[in-house]
Amino acid sequence: MAETLRRVLTRDGAAWSGEENTAAAGPPLLLLGAPGSGKTALLFAAALEAAGEGQGPVLFLTRRPLQSLPRGTGTTLDPMRLQKIRFQYPPSTRELFRFLCSAHEAPGPAPSLLLLDGLEEYLAEDPEPQEAAYLIALLLDTAAHFSHRLGPGRDCGLMVALQTQEEADSGDVLHLALLQRYFPAQCWLQPDAPGPGEHGLRACLDPGGLGPRTEWWVTFRSDGEMMIAPWPTQAGDPSSGKGSSSGGQP
């Protein structure tokens, strides 16, 4: 899943090795960030990216409908891609459990990507570690079931977004430690100094041992448009950061 998110952030669709994309989804990915850090926008961009790969529909789970489609997420809002994204809105942890437990009964082609936004809201209903472990197990089992239905050599990816707090309590720390154990690939969204009228952050992607850690500068304009550029220290030439920023605009 880290490779799908990397293609969104690089805007070029290239794999780490420079080879064409494969059907392997990679390890589950945990997307972490503070409130308003752009987690939903990146999840949606990953959904659009996967929907264009021709490997199957995308299943997007969230507690409530999106108020608007995120802008400037690296891929045009192609109606054909949008049709391949299936949104489901489990309103409670119990309903999420029920949906995941019955996923094997759903008709139609198996999803190639399973996304869950707002995991912290479901965990808050019952903060006991046992409930968190059960939910993680259900997510992993559901993705494994979809992978089996997709057939040999094809996997269903899993990407989950979790909101982090500046002052986490012991329960939050325990949940994060549990999640990091089963989600080896992680992407942290860290606020950084924005420009006038902009909201900026640093995106740090660790693919869980399958490639180098990579960083980007992500900016959200006042109208919600997202712009992405390589982090200046990784651009090779100190002057290339500015050039890639303008080139990365949608």
Please check whether residue 47 lies inside any domain of the structure: yes
Burial of 159 (0-12, 13-18, 19+ CB in 10 A): buried
Across 55-59, average pLDDT: 88
**Bridge partners (DSSP) listed for residue 31:** 161, 187
For 161-194, write each residue's pLDDT tens digit: 999 876 666 667 888 888 989 999 999 998 876 5
Would the pLDDT of 24 be above 70?
no
Contact 47, 57 (CB under 8 A): no
The identity of residue 76, as a single letter, is T
Would the pLDDT of 23 be above 60?
no
Predicted local confidence at residue 204, as pLDDT: 94
Order of strands across the sheet that contains 185-192: 85-88, 58-61, 113-116, 157-163, 29-33, 185-192, 198-206, 214-221, 226-230
Please check whether residue 40 lies inside any domain of the structure: yes
Please check whether residue 194 lies inside any domain of the structure: no
Q: How many separate domains does the chain show?
A: 1
Q: By residue range, what is the domain housing residue 125?
A: 26-185
Please check whether residue 207 lies inside any domain of the structure: no
For 77-126, write each residue's pLDDT tens digit: 778 888 999 999 999 999 999 999 998 888 889 999 999 999 999 999 88
Alpha carbons 121 and 123: distance in angstroms, whole number: 6
pTM of the model: 0.82
Across 127-135, average pLDDT: 89
CATH number at residue 131: 3.40.50.300
The two beta strands, 226-230 and 214-221, are antiparallel
The identity of residue 247, as a single letter, is G
Please check whether residue 232 lies inside any domain of the structure: no
Nearest to 121 by CA among 93, 154, 79: 93
Please check whether residue 224 lies inside any domain of the structure: no
Please check whether residue 43 lies inside any domain of the structure: yes
Across 192-211, average pLDDT: 77
Please check whether residue 236 lies inside any domain of the structure: no
